[in-house]
Amino acid sequence: MKSREERTKWFLDDRFGLFIHWGLYAIPARGEWVRSRERLSIEDYQPFFDEFNPIHYDPRAWAKAAKAAGQKYAVLTTKHHDGFCLFDSKLTDYKATNTPAKRDLIEEYVEAFRSEGLKVGFYYSIIDWHHDHYPKYGDRQHPMRDNEHYRGEKIDFNQYLEYMHGQVRELLTNYGKIDVIWFDFSYDEMTGEKWKATELIEMIRSLQPDILIDNRLGGNIMANEPEIYAGDFYSPEQIVPPQGILNEKNEQVPWEACITLNDNWGYAAHDNNYKSPKQVIHALVECVSKNGNMLLNVGPNAKGDIPEESLDILEAVGKWMRQNGESIYGCGASFLSKPEWGRYTQKGNYLYAHVYDRGIGPIYFQGLKGKIKRARLLADGSELKVQTPWMAEQYSDIANGAFIDLPGAELPDEWDT
Ligand code: JFZ
């Protein structure tokens, strides 16, 4: 079996992926937690199942948008907490095949993303608000957590575990090679072996030896000796970890920050709080500058369209990536500390300077005196002059610094690099 280092190589080179939250909750359009937040019963939620008919579903178009944005892999919700399956599971009737969609939407997704040359991931919720044998009353997440009808209900959690393990087996057997499995999520005592996690991991590795697994089955990926189920990468949510992720031995742990474009994962019709392309680009650069990945989320609507606002952001990010992707792919943290004017990313002998605070005059590179062979503007490949400004010898010597001229006025703001 490959080591984690070998398995995660492609992932850490690719750096940028697309997260897709899509399911029945696209219809109420109030986010993927709507059932829990509004305490909807399965019956309350049934109309969305009965009418689920995404007539615009075109995973090729999704894949093309991701590719044009510079994303190299994708992760789609095969089943979210509501338990609804986009795939044709033999173990449940609660699946896309039995809705007006009438087909296995995961099969089409895998086919589409693969043929656009992207790597393919499955999000799979280990929480399940639909299954008879998943804890309800008193479970802190469950839509029926305070519904007296379910107090003292007898469940057989092992039946749920058999179902859950069985679905993971289906997902990792029926769709060819899968690159990432993204479990979500452990909480309170519902963690690790409660999910029979060791057994689950052993099955996964026997079916898909090279697949990457996130860290949300539980365990401690930062430990000296992480559990077998502690995962291949750490998954911070809605935050870029300030110092990157180091384990107890002070070694880098692969990580991937998952980030929404507005304030919801699933489609939310009235959520217009979108980030700007610039914020997204800066977040991506920040991740890479700390040895991390970014998984950027979209929530397609009930018809299967990615919202226009999200597509616009992806497009703008793509434009930047076409000019500056070299500073992202295969790059990581620099040996230099963060400069005053922005951030560094680095790949071997190539140092990428992301200049956010342009100031006036040349850009100062602490510690690089005599070490810069040549400098180029990444956006257009044009030469930048390395030269010490008049009278600057004395103070630049102190910190062993070097200066690079930037073409001042001509440099448009959004180039930022
Ligand atoms: C989970 C999901 O509940 C959410 O719907 C979405 O899919 C997201 C990517 O993952 O959200 C979480 C999971 C874990 C924590 C917070 C939100 N947590 O541990 O703090």
What pLDDT shows up at residue 396? Answer: 65
Residue 380 CA to residue 334 CA, distance in Å, equals 23
- Whether 26 has a pLDDT exceeding 80, the answer reads yes
CB-based contact 22:266 (threshold 8 Å): yes
For residue 77, give the ligand 1 atom closest to its CA: 7
Residue 344, pLDDT score: 98
How many degrees, rounded to 5, is the angle at CA 172 between CA 168 and CA 176? 160
Cα of 77 to ligand 1 centre, how many Å?
12
- 185 Cα: distance to centroid of ligand 1 (angstroms): 7
pLDDT of amino acid 3: 95
What would the pLDDT profile of 251-292 be if each residue is shown by its tens digit? 999 999 999 999 999 999 999 999 999 999 999 999 999 999
pLDDT band at 394 (very low <50, low <70, confident <90, very high): confident
CB 265 less than 6 A from any atom of ligand 1: yes
Residue 395 has a pLDDT of: 72
- Partners of 255 in beta bridges: 234, 292
pLDDT at 269: 98
**Ligand 1 centroid from CA 126, angstroms:** 12
Measured in residues, the chain has a length of: 417
Nearest atom (ligand 1) to Cα of 187:
19
- CA neighbours within 13 Å on the CB side: how many for 3? 3
Tell me: pLDDT of 32 over 70: yes
Q: What is the pLDDT of residue 220?
A: 98
Q: How confident is the model at residue 359 (pLDDT cuts 50, 70, 90)?
A: confident
State whether the beta carbon of 185 lies less than 6 angstroms from ligand 1.
yes
30 strand-pairing partners: 268
In sequence order, what are the residues at sequence separation of 6 or more whose Cβ sits closer than 8 angstroms to the Cβ of residue 400? 366, 367, 368, 369
Query: What does the pLDDT read at residue 399?
Result: 72
Q: What is the pLDDT of residue 360?
A: 84
Tens digits of residue pLDDT in 92-138: 999 999 999 999 999 999 999 999 999 999 999 999 999 999 999 99
Which atom of ligand 1 is closest in space to residue 32's alpha carbon? 5
State the pLDDT confidence band at 150, using cuts at 50, 70 and 90: very high
| Cβ-contact 417, 380 below 8 angstroms | no
Question: How far away, in angstroms, is 237 Cα from ligand 1 center?
Answer: 7
Report the chain's mean pLDDT, rounded to a whole number.
95
Residue from 76, 237, 239, 264 whose mutation best tests the ligand 1 pocket (most atoms within 8 A of CB): 237
User: Max Cα separation, the chain?
Assistant: 81
Q: How far does residue 403's CA lie from ligand 1's centre (Å)?
A: 45
Other CB atoms within 10 Å distance of the CB of residue 272: 10
pLDDT of residue 416: 53
pLDDT > 70 fraction of the chain, expressed in percent and rounded: 97
**Could you read off the pLDDT of 70-95 as tens digits, one per residue?**
999 999 999 999 999 999 999 999 99
Best probe residue, ligand 1, of 33, 123, 184 (max atoms within 8 Å of C-beta): 184
Cross-strand partners of 271: none
Query: Which residues does 244 contact at the CB level (< 8 Å), separation at least 6?
Result: 252, 255, 290, 291, 292, 333
Instruction: Say which DSSP state 129 is in.
Output: S
Q: Tell whether the model's pLDDT for residue 305 goes beyond 60.
A: yes
pLDDT tens figures, 169-217: 999 999 999 999 999 999 999 999 999 999 999 999 999 999 999 999 9
pLDDT of residue 417 exceeding 90, the answer is: no
Least confident of 265-274, 306-315, 362-371: 362-371
> Given ligand 1 and candidates 33, 142, 185, 188, which is best to mutate, with the most ligand atoms within 8 Å of its CB?
185
pLDDT at 329: 98
Find out whether the beta carbon of 32 lies less than 6 Å from any atom of ligand 1. Answer: yes
- Expressed in angstroms, the distance from the first to the final Cα of the chain is 41
What is the model's pLDDT at position 397?
Answer: 66
Q: Which atom of ligand 1 is nearest to the CA of 297?
A: 9
| pLDDT score for 342 | 96
Q: Is the pLDDT of residue 391 over 80?
A: no
What whole-number distance in Å separates Cα of residue 126 and Cα of residue 335? 39
In this predicted structure, what is the pLDDT of residue 411? 56
How much is the pLDDT for 1? Answer: 87
